[in-house]
Amino acid sequence: MIIDSHCHLDFPKFNSDCHEAIERARSAGVVEIINSGVDYKTNLTTLALANKYDNIHATLGLGPGVATTKDDEDIGRILSQIEQNIESAVGIGEAGLDYFHCKTDSERARQIDVFKKVIEIAETFDKPLVIHARDAEYETLQLVQHLDNVVFHCYSGSLETMNQITDAGYHVSIATLVCFSKHHQYLAKHLPLKSMIIETDSPYLSPRKGRNEPAFLVDSVTMIAKLRDMKEIDIAKATVQNTRRVFGL
């Protein structure tokens, strides 16, 4: 049994075969899936998926790209949406900072301002916060250190910052990038097992040709077990336990 802790089955690339992808995941041993919203529309579709399938759980988000492209009224609408549907979500996110795509000081300040509002919701409602951080992992960590339950989704930062994240008691999600990225293999090898969860970030980051999907998470388990000289079943068991603990599944 394994759990895909982060994906986007409601994105357009799954329009033609979402149900089939979910069934392929079941057949591959993916017993639960966490589907993450990034804006108003995808929060709605994520909630609809979680309502339709008993093995899919929703997190409700406001991605950093949304923070820099939407006005205050739209941002307020998304924040209210998250609060109003909080009981139907297992977590808040994805949300955070993306300095790879966001280069100007004003845009980064805007991301920080919006992210702080999402952090406040996670704290108020005592929900795990799922973080998107790209080229801003350290900066993001500084903003969330007062929270109890944090997941750095698709972590790609430095080993030093990763160690600070795990020292704070937070979790790091290893994406299917680990199947082909030397940097992610290095991180997976050194990440404490008690702090590890795994994800596909479908439809992105496929370890196989074409679109990624939750069934392909088995490839990550195989690779991580090889990197750590462990049995695949032990990687699977640990990451399932960690994911269920983080999200209260």
Q: What is the pLDDT of residues 89-117, one digit of tens each?
A: 999 999 999 999 888 999 999 999 999 99
78 has pLDDT over 90: yes
| Tens-place pLDDT, residues 9-67 | 999 999 999 999 999 999 999 999 999 999 999 999 999 999 999 999 999 999 999 99
- Which pLDDT does position 245 carry in this prediction? 97
Residue 89, Ramachandran bin (φ over 0: left; ψ between -120 and 50: alpha; else beta): beta
When the pLDDT of each residue in the chain is averaged and rounded to a whole number, the result is: 97
Phi and psi angles of residue 125, each rounded to the nearest 5 degrees, phi first: -100, 5
Number of neighbouring beta carbons within 10 Å of residue 137: 23
Residue with tokens 């820099």: 68
Buried b (16+ CB within 10 A) or exposed e, 211-225: ebbbbbbbbbbebbb
Q: Which residues lie below 8 Å from residue 51, measured CB to CB, with a gap of 6+? A: 88
Q: What pLDDT does residue 33 have? A: 98
The CA distance from 237 to 234, in Å, is: 5
The pLDDT assigned to 239 comes to 98
d(CA 208, CA 176): 10
pLDDT at 206 over 90: yes
Tokens of 229: 């000289």
**Predicted local confidence at residue 118, as pLDDT:** 98
Domain 2-247: which topology?
TIM Barrel (3.20.20)
Indicate the pLDDT class of residue 232, thresholds 50, 70 and 90: very high
Task: List the one residue out of 155, 205, 218 whose CA is nearest residue 184.
Answer: 155
Residue 80 has pLDDT above 90, yes or no: yes
129 forms bridges with which residues in the sheet?
Answer: 92, 150
Query: To 10 degrees, what angle do helices 217-228 and 232-247 make?
Result: 120
Dihedral of the alpha carbons of 228, 229, 231, 237, in degrees to the nearest 10: -20
Residues 50, 10 contacting (CB under 8 angstroms): no
